[in-house]
Amino acid sequence: MTQPSPLALAKRLPLYLLIACLPFTDFVQNGLVAFNAAPVMGDIGASPEEYSLVATLYAVVAIAVISKHRWLVERLGWRLFVQISCALFAVGALVCGSSGSLAGFAFGRAVMGAGSASFMTAGRVLVNRMPPTPARFTGIRFFASGIAWGATIGPLLASVMWSSNGWRAGFFVLLVPALAIAAIGSVVLPRELPEAGPRSQSHPLGLLVLMAGSFVLLHALQRSGFDFFSDPLTTVLPLALALPALWLFVWLDGRREHPLIRFKSLAQPRYLVGLAVFGVAYVVLGADNVMLPVLLQRALGLPLEVIGRYLALGALAGVASWIVMARLLPKSPGPTRYYLIGFAALFGFSVLMASTSETAHPMQRIVPALLLHGAFVIIVLSTTAMQTFQTLQRDDTTFSHANQVKNMLAQFGMAIGVALATLCMQWRSAVHNARLAESLSASNLALHDTLQRLTQYFATSADPVNASRLAIAHVAQWATQEATLMAALDYFMAIAALASACLVLVLAERGLRHRRQTLHARTPMLADLQERA
């Protein structure tokens, strides 16, 4: 697709708003769904195992639609494509907000996935369709701002809806950004199809292989939290089947003259390194989305609506970080300093969370940690996005395919993070439960004194037998909560170690780069000296 002529100044602001609304809506709905998982399960009568199928179904549909993003744009045109995406997203949100069963909610999430799957890709590709002038960087600023504000509004919206009108109202509120995207897109996006030329080719078999491999992989990751320690083969065998299936999709697609995704053109060192950094970031985000509620709600006993407000407050640091970055990048585009700051923020977040206790005041320990987490998310993701696609921006199709692969990777990375966090929680909880059980023996005088006082307390409202049982149950609950807290602290210590490793790699890369630059600078001087000799 050729670059369009520069838009008139009067039309640029609506286009910038559209570019911001696309990632904003995607992040808001992801935050809303992640925050409301427990209330939704309780309302529709779904077990955690059943609810995991909803997440798997959504991700599989999203991956399929993301893979065909460019294919759809080439055949529908930008305006119709965005309009259909918004319509599907709005219908899915209505179904989710109105459903009273697992099947209805799962269907709604699948329809939402079909609609919102390409929001991130569409927003970034629309930025690249601008000429390489300051207008393009302004588009990037709006795109990143949409991500930062979406990460903030998502948990805040979920918290407000949960404490007032219930979780269903949150899905109905999603109709507002969907309608805004459709309205703005109908005005600023071209109706015409892209100019004639080589178009991406798709084949039902390749798409079926991709969806089957994605489902098996994602389902195995979701099921690992229920089966891994009791029957690890139920996780390992599906993974062993899914990975070759995904490779088969890449191979089948690569055989075409005009593939659905140009994997060969994407095999560039800068892009592959960028994907690796994105993968690490998405795994951490997926894991943190599991462990933060575990620590704050189950271990520290904070109310759900308060947790949402804390998460939103922490995400505001991402907004502030991007405001500062947007001013610094034109003058200092080098990525090293931003990666050092970003991973240092992750390290600080992890250390603060790992040193949390039941007596710590949230505003002194939890909120500062969440502020660092919000800064990490925006700084690392924005820096990686600025660096990863530098060599792929000349061709619109290749650039679109590069973003499609990155956003497909996001679905897998988040699922891997969820699985790893769940397994870590189960493993470390079991270890700490066993240690606590050893300490709570009959010879423990402190335990005996505690049980006696609890029994006396409960005896004021229950008979002696039930009072004794209530005292034992209360101590067991304390032990479980303590084991959960210690397991969460172990997880955050592991994240601190990961952040430290990332900092070491960034410093090592900077040292190697400076050494290469020094050698290149010395080579002409040595050659000149040899000629004079």
Residue 72 sits in a domain of what CATH number?
1.20.1250.20
Amino acid at 396: D
Cα atoms found within 13 Å of the Cα of residue 55, Cβ hemisphere only = 29
Picking from 342, 352, 282, 351, the residue whose alpha carbon sits closest to that of residue 318 is: 342
What share of the chain in percent tops pLDDT 90?
52
pLDDT of residue 446: 62
**Per-residue pLDDT at 17 exceeds 90:** yes
Contact 97, 169 (CB under 8 A): yes
Picking from 365, 355, 376, the residue whose alpha carbon sits closest to that of residue 493 is: 355
Q: Is residue 446 part of a domain?
A: no
Beta carbons within 10 angstroms of residue 529's beta carbon:
9
Long-range Cβ contact pairs of 500-509 (< 8 A, separation 24 or more): 500/347, 502/280, 502/339, 502/343, 502/346, 503/340, 503/343, 503/344, 503/347, 506/336, 506/339, 506/340, 506/343, 507/340, 509/336
Can you tell me the distance from the alpha carbon of 217 to that of 231, in angstroms, rounded to the nearest whole number? 17
Looking at the structure, tell me whether residues 136 and 210 fall in a common domain: no
Looking at the structure, tell me whether residues 85 and 230 fall in a common domain: no
**Per-residue pLDDT at 86 exceeds 90:** yes
Looking at the structure, tell me whether residues 60 and 144 fall in a common domain: yes
Can you tell me the distance from the alpha carbon of 98 to that of 164, in angstroms, rounded to the nearest whole number? 17
Beta carbons within 10 angstroms of residue 500's beta carbon:
16
Q: What is the mean pLDDT of residues 433-456?
A: 65
* Model confidence pLDDT, tens digit, residues 211-226: 999 999 999 988 887 7
The pTM of the full predicted model, rounded to 2 decimals, is 0.88
Please give the mean pLDDT across all residues of the chain: 86
What share of the chain in percent tops pLDDT 70?
86
Give the three-class secondary structure for 101.
Answer: coil
pLDDT tier at 9, thresholds 50, 70, 90: very low
Cα atoms found within 13 Å of the Cα of residue 378, Cβ hemisphere only = 31
pLDDT tier at 52, thresholds 50, 70, 90: confident
Burial 191-201 (b: 16+ CB within 10 A, else e): eeebeeeeebe
Looking at the structure, tell me whether residues 229 and 86 fall in a common domain: no
Q: Is residue 224 part of a domain?
A: yes
pLDDT of residue 305: 84
Looking at the structure, tell me whether residues 143 and 246 fall in a common domain: no
Can you tell me the distance from the alpha carbon of 194 to that of 190, in angstroms, rounded to the nearest whole number? 9
Q: Is residue 141 part of a domain?
A: yes
Looking at the structure, tell me whether residues 209 and 126 fall in a common domain: no
Does 467 or 394 have the greater pLDDT score? 394
Lookup: tokens for 165: 């009108």
pLDDT tier at 11, thresholds 50, 70, 90: low
Judged by average pLDDT, the poorest of 96-105, 106-115, 448-457, 487-496 is 448-457
Contact 278, 409 (CB under 8 A): yes
pLDDT tier at 185, thresholds 50, 70, 90: very high
pLDDT tier at 3, thresholds 50, 70, 90: very low
Question: What DSSP assignment string belongs to 405-432?
Answer: HHHHHHHHHHHHHHHHHHHHHHHHHHHH
Looking at the structure, tell me whether residues 47 and 172 fall in a common domain: yes
End residue of a domain, out of 173, 197, 221? 197
Lookup: tokens for 480: 């479980």
Contact 155, 27 (CB under 8 A): no
Beta carbons within 10 angstroms of residue 38's beta carbon:
15
Our CA angle for 238, 239, 244, nearest 5°, is 105
pLDDT tier at 447, thresholds 50, 70, 90: low
Give the three-class secondary structure for 202.
Answer: coil
End residue of a domain, out of 175, 197, 219? 197
Give the three-class secondary structure for 515.
Answer: helix
pLDDT tier at 1, thresholds 50, 70, 90: very low
Q: What is the mean pLDDT of residues 352-375?
A: 90
Can you tell me the distance from the alpha carbon of 463 to that of 471, in angstroms, rounded to the nearest whole number? 12
Looking at the structure, tell me whether residues 206 and 79 fall in a common domain: no
pLDDT of residue 504: 96
Q: Is residue 212 part of a domain?
A: yes
Q: What are the C-alpha distances in Å from 312 to residues 92, 155, 209, 402?
A: 25, 6, 39, 30
Looking at the structure, tell me whether residues 186 and 231 fall in a common domain: no
pLDDT of residue 474: 59
Contact 158, 308 (CB under 8 A): yes
* Model confidence pLDDT, tens digit, residues 467-521: 666 666 656 666 777 888 888 999 999 999 999 999 999 999 888 877 777 776 6
End residue of a domain, out of 147, 165, 197? 197
Lookup: tokens for 416: 């891997």
pLDDT tier at 7, thresholds 50, 70, 90: very low
Judged by average pLDDT, the poorest of 144-148, 226-230, 303-307, 379-383 is 226-230
Can you tell me the distance from the alpha carbon of 437 to that of 359, in angstroms, rounded to the nearest whole number? 23
Looking at the structure, tell me whether residues 223 and 165 fall in a common domain: no
Q: What is the mean pLDDT of residues 106-126?
A: 94
Q: What is the mean pLDDT of residues 168-197?
A: 89
Q: Is residue 463 part of a domain?
A: no
Lookup: tokens for 25: 């809506």
Can you tell me the distance from the alpha carbon of 357 to that of 368, in angstroms, rounded to the nearest whole number? 15
Looking at the structure, tell me whether residues 173 and 241 fall in a common domain: no
Amino acid at 279: G
Q: Is residue 264 part of a domain?
A: no
pLDDT of residue 2: 40
Picking from 132, 50, 488, 469, the residue whose alpha carbon sits closest to that of residue 291 is: 488
Cα atoms found within 13 Å of the Cα of residue 337, Cβ hemisphere only = 7
Looking at the structure, tell me whether residues 119 and 241 fall in a common domain: no
Cα atoms found within 13 Å of the Cα of residue 80, Cβ hemisphere only = 10
pLDDT tier at 5, thresholds 50, 70, 90: very low
Total domains in the chain come to: 2
* Model confidence pLDDT, tens digit, residues 272-283: 999 999 999 999
Can you tell me the distance from the alpha carbon of 445 to that of 145, in angstroms, rounded to the nearest whole number? 58
- Domain limits at 107? 11-197
Q: Is residue 295 part of a domain?
A: no
Q: Is residue 24 part of a domain?
A: yes
Length of the chain: 533
